[in-house]
Chain A
Amino acid sequence: MYRYDAVDKTLVSERVAQFRDQTRRFLAGELSEDEFRLLRLRNGLYIQRHAPMLRVAIPYGLLSSNQLRALGSIARRYDRGYGHVTTRQNIQFNWPKLEQVPDILAELAEVEMHAIQTSGNCIRNTTSDHLAGVTPDEIEDPRPWCELIRQWSTFHPEFTYLPRKFKIAVTGAAKDRAASLVHDVGVHIVRGPAGELGFEILAGGGLGRTPIIGQVVREFLPREHLLSYLEAILRIYNLEGRRDNLQKARIKILVRTLGIEEFRRRVEAEWQLIRGAGPKVDDAQITRLKSFFDPPAYRKLADIEPATAKSAAFQAWYRYNTAAHKVPGYRAVYVSLKKHDVAPGDITDSQMELVADLADRYGFGEVRVSHTQNLLLADVEQGAAFDLWLELEKAGLATPNIGTLTDMICCPGLDFCSLANAGSIDVAKLINQRFDDYDYLYDLGELEIKMSGCMNACGHHHVGHIGILGVDKSGEEWYQITIGGAAGVDASLGHVIGPSVKKADVAETIARLLEIYVEQRRPEERFLDTVRRLGVKPFKERVYAAPIAA
């Protein structure tokens, strides 16, 4: 993984010093609430319902075991013993004290981490495929490019006061595991006409109040121009994006208003002006960045089938919670953060330390964070999977549900977030209680439930196969249900099935949707594809045919 050199260390320390001074000036009354807000947001610090919330960047989801240990230690000493993994490969602490945040940032800097630009109207953490570098369906490892973008976007002088936040996702595989089509900019590694590697650039995707799927700005960009092209997109957005209305300030609205052709024309015209003098990536630079992501010292192994002659529980876990690896004899292993009685994405301090130890013993000392709010040990020997499972199981980190209904994506909701209309964590619990029969879950197959406590869509509900959105109805928590959304290469936005339902009725509503699926599905057909084939109507009819008994 990428390691800081003296320059990176200097810059992060200088940022800590800057923020320490800003915090001091705020506490001394030299900065107003409003003035401090803009400064603290650029360091990932929100003031939430109960306490400040600090969002720490995990660049493209990659952590060393030492970094994860440090996060565990911070959770224990500065928080209430846990952290929350988000859909953008960050981790959030919900209970730090404002005056201690500079110390937390200083401790993070010691392990080459930071909270720079994890909130505010600037370029946010660059996200990527959590299976980068190990998945067999990859054209090229996207992480060196992510690191390139991370460096370029860090303290970018021109793009620190954008009309609104700006999120970039990079993928290099056939399957899109980074939801890149619902990002402000999606960067796809592709092959050009002569087989050379370059990028397809998309822009204008996003969720929130106005969900839109990103559109192609450029089908093929030679790799050396990546940063100057991003700079052209950002400049057009910075100058022309709306600033009069917060709800219309994302780049997706600019792209939609101009139309993709006119947006492209402006970006290309700007790029022609700056491509000569702008930031260029030469071979030496990318070669050095790539060297940080060289494969670990894999042993020469053959593929084996470790599940035979082991318990059914292990077999189920192995089938659902591990993923294919491009190197024979290895698997990528999910560490599930979806235990039934725990808020999705939450992890305790001791679990963080345990996973760090397991990463050292089983996974070359590296851990990844997925946008589906789980962790991953990317390089586990198949022969060691059983022992690893035993340890994960003991720690409550082996819920065998990856990719199934209860592997829900969920924002912190009303329990923590000051923006939320409704709770999401307790709805997740109700769904978990209702769907606790694994045979049924496995029979349903691939199913993504995504839940947000408000329109801001941190839980990506628009692109859930089943989406759940919390709404406030005269002080009561209600839930609007959508079906047919997807976040991958076939991204689509879900359709609302009808009037919203009460909290107590969400699980039954889902059960009714699934009845139709089970009755009408074709062999091997996913829920999503059945919805696409049949449309919303039969699902809607079943849900609203009879009132849900209290």
Chain B
Amino acid sequence: MPRRLLRDGQIIVDDWSYAAEAEGAGAEGTAPRAVILSVEQWQNERDKWSGGGRRLGLVLLPAHKVELLAADISRFDLIAAEFSGPGEGRGYSQARVLREQWNFKGELRATGYVRRDQLFFMARCGFNSFELPDADIAGAHAALSTFSWAYQPSNDAGLAVTLPLRRPDTTASA
């Protein structure tokens, strides 16, 4: 069953494979051109996956420090942050640090426990793709326009437009 996801506001079929999926596919001689590795796989098997024009992605677990990627960040076209459960919130900070301090321009994907009610804040922090359960995916697009202003600056990299910033000294009409 191909994985559907919401990327840049569009529901698409995922064009990335996780390494475990890729290994299955590779046996048939059609190794995917875009593979997402775990941090361990990147550390231990990078030669196996590098080269051949293959695009690489990496999954950060909640406890991983973004600094871990310091030397290698330019090697990745995709970074995913895993949300281990409904209360997990480290990924929001990881995303902002990646976008705002490491200037990561590639796909930033939320994976794991991701539901439509979290999407708006995730997108404000920099996620632009979301692995959602099928039940949530249809209504998810609307979640990206939950609020029309922001009280605080963020990168808004996952929103179609940068939200207007509501500064305390501007009386704007909305």
Q: Which residues of A contact B (CB under 8 A)?
A: 5-11, 14-15, 18, 22, 30, 34-35, 38-39, 121, 147-148, 151-163, 227, 235, 238-239, 243, 273-274, 277-279, 282, 284-289
Contacts and interface: CB of A to CB of B under 8 A. Distances in A.
Interface stretch (B37-45, B48-56, B68-76, B149-157): B149-157
A122 to B, nearest CB: 9
A155 B154 CA distance: 12
B155 to A, nearest CB: 10
B125 A148 contact: no
Given A11-B147, A157-B92, A239-B93, A285 B86 contact: no
A238 B92 contact: yes
Contact of B168 (A6, A30, A147, A157): A147
B39 to A, nearest CB: 16
B93 A6 contact: no
Contacts of B33: none
Given A7-B172, A289-B168, A161 B88 contact: yes
B141 interface: no
Given A157-B152, A158-B121, A289-B168, 17 more contacts: A6-B171, A6-B172, A6-B173, A7-B172, A9-B174, A10-B149, A11-B148, A39-B117, A148-B168, A151-B168, A159-B89, A161-B87, A239-B94, A243-B88, A243-B90, A277-B100, A278-B153
A152 B125 contact: no
Provide the main secondary structure of the chain B interface: loop
A243 B87 contact: yes
The contact size tier of chain B is 35 or more
Contacts of B27: none
Given A10-B174, A11-B147, A279-B152, A155 B121 contact: yes
Given A11-B151, A38-B86, A160 B171 contact: no
Contact of A235 (B93, B149, B150): B93
B87 A14 contact: no
Contacts of A38: 86-87
B46 interface: no
Contacts of B121: 155, 157-158, 160
Given A6-B172, A30-B135, A161 B152 contact: no
B166 to A, nearest CB: 5
Contact of A18 (B87, B125, B146): B146
B161 to A, nearest CB: 15
Contacts of A7: 149, 166, 172, 174
A387 to B, nearest CB: 38
A159 B168 CA distance: 20
A227 B152 contact: yes
A239 B90 contact: yes
Contact of B89 (A160, A273, A287): A160
A157 B124 contact: yes
A160 B124 CA distance: 12
A3 to B, nearest CB: 10
A191 B155 CA distance: 34
B151 A161 contact: no
Considering residues A155, A158, A279, A288, which has the most beta carbons from chain B within 10 angstroms of its beta carbon?
A: A158
B169 A287 contact: yes
A285 B169 contact: yes
Given A14-B146, A14-B148, A158-B125, A5 B171 contact: yes
Contacts of B105: none
B96 interface: yes
A153 B89 CA distance: 16
26 contacts: A6-B174, A7-B172, A10-B148, A11-B147, A11-B151, A14-B147, A35-B115, A35-B117, A121-B87, A151-B152, A152-B152, A155-B147, A155-B151, A156-B151, A156-B152, A158-B96, A159-B92, A161-B87, A235-B97, A243-B88, A279-B153, A285-B167, A286-B168, A287-B169, A288-B168, A289-B169
A238 B89 contact: yes
A453 to B, nearest CB: 25
B129 to A, nearest CB: 16
Contact of B101 (A11, A227, A273, A279): A273
Nearest to A34: B86
A10 B89 CA distance: 26
A187 B103 CA distance: 32
